[in-house]
Amino acid sequence: MTNANLSGLARALINEKWLTEAEAVALAQQAVSIGEGFVTQLISVKKFKPAVVAEFAAAQFGVPYFDLAALDHDVLPKGLLDTKLITRRRVMALYQRGNRLSIAVSDPTNMQAVDEVKFQTNLGVDIVVVEDDKLGKLIEQFSESSVSVLDNLGDEDINLEFTDDDALAKGDDAAGAEIDDAPIVRYLQKILLDAINAGVSDIHFEPFEKFYRIRYRLDGILYEVAQPPIAIKDKISSRIKVISKLDIAEKRVPQDGRMKLVLSKNRAIDFRVSSLPTLYGEKIVMRILDPASAQMGIDALGYDPDQREILLNAVQRPYGMVLVTGPTGSGKTVSLYTCLNILNKPGVNISTAEDPAEINLPGINQVNVNDKAGLNFSNALRAFLRQDPDIIMVGEIRDLETADIAIKAAQTGHMVLSTLHTNDAPTTLTRLMNMGVAPFNIASSVILITAQRLARRLCSCKQAKAIPREALLRAGFKEADLDGSWQPYHPVGCEICKNTGYKGRVGIYQVMPITDEMTRIIMKNGNAIDIADQARREGVRTLREAGLIKVRSGQTSLEEIEAVTNE
């Protein structure tokens, strides 16, 4: 190595008589041979103090000098720079503002590091000089934290069961080497186990240009739980796809699959897995399907005593149609499975058509619809009627053909349970009419409609809150309700609820039996307003009124009810 190959810092040291040219060349050669930076080798051999070298470099090249001891390491931007770049070029990202990134180096003339950072981040770069020993410790801590995310997890007592053979996992050697990475396997198992223990409903694995994040949906709200190194995003997605029976080579189209996590001999959790190609990789969402949720009993769902009695009387009738309505994520599936679990007895033949079957219940014949193969809801229903059924559950009534077959089944001695996407119970009947179902068919088959929402349940840390009388009346309370015998509560936050103020969810229901008077309204082509007026006269509570009962009992807050009911 000659003087021409020396860094600008080395030449500055020579010019200021800190080093001879021979010493500088020797130090540079030694640094290259052992894979160290020039400044690190300079301090090690010449015994210069790191602070002195940093101050010299900052003064010589007009670059700000910064003391890393004053830095809060938790605020460092994560995922911007690859770990290999950080360790190889001895550079650390300190702060990003807009399209500018401040980086810490001990050698401000290390233009290879600057160029690589610019290329990897597509950002403008501002250099800050720091002491080499402190930079080394920071890089070491960063590298350890990135590796410890994967390596230092401890072996969990978990067994992943494949629902098919392991052929995919043993495909070509390259794929196997990528996905049979033990740290990745342990990390994924840790993420899944933590989610199950926390009562999470969905796990989101999301790749972005500069970072990779994992979020949990808990009580209907998404929370970020981890930002693993962006370099492992492909390994995580490949691992999930293998155990979910998805094609790991196909990354251009969405895919759907399932997997099972065995926790013990008596408990296994199913996951519904969906992959979606995005700009920066595959986003994967895993829906956690815990069979225990269907077996917790109707009392745990949150039905008021009178609503529970009406619902149980309806589903235990020999024939008719019971419809559950509400938006996605409102708990319709759990309500239906809870009813099926009550009806699931040795003397009853139950068949379900779902897209897909979310919870496995022994003793119930469950069918996954497959539109590509020609097995849609209507075809599955036709097949059920040749299978001597007593009870039929249709995952969702989406079209007139499915609605017609389901109604005919209800009219010919079968109990039919299904779901629809409507805002409340009265609008469900007009939705069926808009599909093209004849009013007399609706009137002669539908016996009960229940609309529902899920509201977050207040944690035990809740506190009483004084709410103005006018606000309570505006929310829907009646004068008679404000008798001073109860008080509203509001969320506070503690360790148990992770400072959200809420822990778990409670159902809010509008249970509307179809009475003779409603039947007459339907036969006269009455609209949703007519049916709602009749329901009100018969004492059927709206969703808001049902939610206010939960507020009075202290189960949830008024703001939560106002958020989930749109009245």
Q: Cα(469)–Cα(479) distance, rounded to whole angstroms?
A: 9
Kindly indicate the confidence band of residue 2, based on its pLDDT and cuts at 50, 70 and 90. Answer: low
Determine contact, residues 219/505, Cβ cutoff 8 Å: yes
Whole-number pLDDT of residue 522: 92
How much is the pLDDT for 3? 57
pLDDT above 60 (res 136): yes
Q: CA-CA distances (angstroms) from residue 49 to 53, 67, 286?
A: 6, 14, 53
Q: What percent of the chain shows pLDDT beyond 90? A: 33
Question: CA nearest 521: which of 542, 536, 541, 543?
Answer: 536
Cis peptide before 254 (omega within 30 of 0): no
| Token code pair at residue 207 | 């790749």
- Residue 164 pLDDT > 60: no
- Residue 535 · residue 512 · CB < 8 Å: yes
Which stretch of 334-338, 349-353, 368-372, 401-405 has the lowest confidence by average pLDDT?
A: 368-372
Judged against a pLDDT cut of 80, whether residue 393 lies above it is answered with yes
- Identify the weakest region by mean pLDDT among 76-85, 134-143, 445-454: 76-85
Distance (Å, whole) CA 255 – CA 247: 8
pLDDT of residue 4: 55
The yes-or-no verdict on residue 475 having pLDDT over 80 is yes
Query: Which residues are CB-contacts of 351 (< 8 A; sequence separation ≥ 6)?
Result: 364, 365, 366, 367, 384, 387, 389, 391, 392, 393
According to the model, what pLDDT value does residue 169 have? 38
138-141: Cβ within 8 A, 24+ apart:
138/68, 138/73, 138/92, 138/104, 139/86, 139/87, 139/90, 139/92, 141/73
Mean pLDDT within 351-365: 85
Mean pLDDT across 443-459 = 93
Q: What is the pLDDT of residue 168?
A: 36
Q: How far is CA 275 from CA 203, 236, 241, 491, in A?
A: 12, 12, 8, 35
Q: What was the pLDDT predicted at 74? A: 65
pLDDT at 190 over 80: yes
CA–CA separation, 529 and 429 (whole Å): 11
| Range of weakest confidence among 29-43, 176-190, 364-378 | 176-190
State the pLDDT confidence band at 376, using cuts at 50, 70 and 90: confident
pLDDT value of position 294: 59
pLDDT band for position 306 (cuts 50, 70, 90): very high
User: Which residues lie closer than 8 Å to 381 by C-beta, 6 or more apart?
Assistant: 353, 392, 394, 402, 405, 406, 409
pLDDT for the residue numbered 88: 80
Pick 144 or 206 by higher pLDDT: 206
- What is this structure's pTM? 0.65
Q: Is the pLDDT of residue 155 over 50?
A: no
Output the pLDDT for position 391.
Answer: 94
> With bands split at pLDDT 50, 70 and 90, how would you rate the model's confidence at 172?
very low
DSSP state for residue 77 in the 8-state scheme: P
- Rounded mean pLDDT, 167-194: 62
Residue range 37-69, pLDDT digits in tens: 888 888 878 788 888 888 888 888 888 888 887
Q: What is the mean pLDDT of residues 24-48?
A: 81
Residue 159: pLDDT above 70? Answer: no
pLDDT at 375: 87
pLDDT-derived band at 181 (thresholds 50, 70, 90) equals low
The Cβ of residue 233 has, within 10 Å, a number of other Cβ atoms equal to 23
pLDDT-derived band at 567, boundaries 50, 70, 90: low
Q: What is the pLDDT of residue 79?
A: 66
Residues 278-293: tens digit of each pLDDT: 999 999 999 988 776 6
* Average pLDDT for 26-40: 80
Predicted pLDDT at 512:
95
Q: Which of 116-120, 232-236, 357-361, 394-398 has the lowest mean pLDDT?
A: 357-361
Q: What mean pLDDT comes out for the span 475-503?
A: 88
Query: What's the pLDDT at 206?
Result: 95
As a whole number of angstroms, the distance between CA 214 and CA 235 comes to: 14
The strands making up 267-278's β-sheet, listed across from edge to edge, are 159-161, 255-264, 267-278, 281-289, 202-207, 212-218, 221-226
Average of per-residue pLDDT across 217-231: 87
Rounded distance between C-alpha atoms, residue 532 and residue 538, angstroms: 10
Query: What type of residue is 146?
Result: S
Q: What are phi and psi of 156, to 5 degrees?
A: -80, 150
Q: Does pLDDT of 148 surpass 70? A: no
Minimum mean pLDDT among 156-160, 267-271, 393-397, 500-504: which range? Answer: 156-160
CA distances from 51 to 47, 54, 135, 319, 330 (A): 12, 5, 11, 85, 60
Residues 15 and 21: beta-carbon distance below 8 Å = no
pLDDT for 313-340, tens place per residue?
999 999 999 999 998 888 888 888 889 9
- Give residue 410's pLDDT: 93
* Overall average pLDDT of the 6-17 stretch: 84
Looking at every residue in the chain, the average pLDDT score rounds to 84
Q: Which pLDDT value is given to residue 1?
A: 54
Distance separating alpha carbons of residues 438 and 250, to the nearest angstrom? 45
Q: What is the arithmetic mean of pLDDT over 109-132?
A: 85
Phi-psi region of 90 (alpha: psi -120 to 50; beta: other; left: phi over 0): left
Percent with pLDDT over 70 in the chain: 90
Please give the pLDDT value at position 157. 44
Residue 543 and residue 567 in contact, taking contact as beta carbons nearer than 8 Å: yes
Res 441: pLDDT: 93
pLDDT (average), residues 455-482: 90
Q: Give the integer Cα–Cα distance in Å for 470 and 360.
A: 48
Residue count (the chain): 567
d(CA 259, CA 164): 9
Identity at 94, one-letter amino acid code:
L
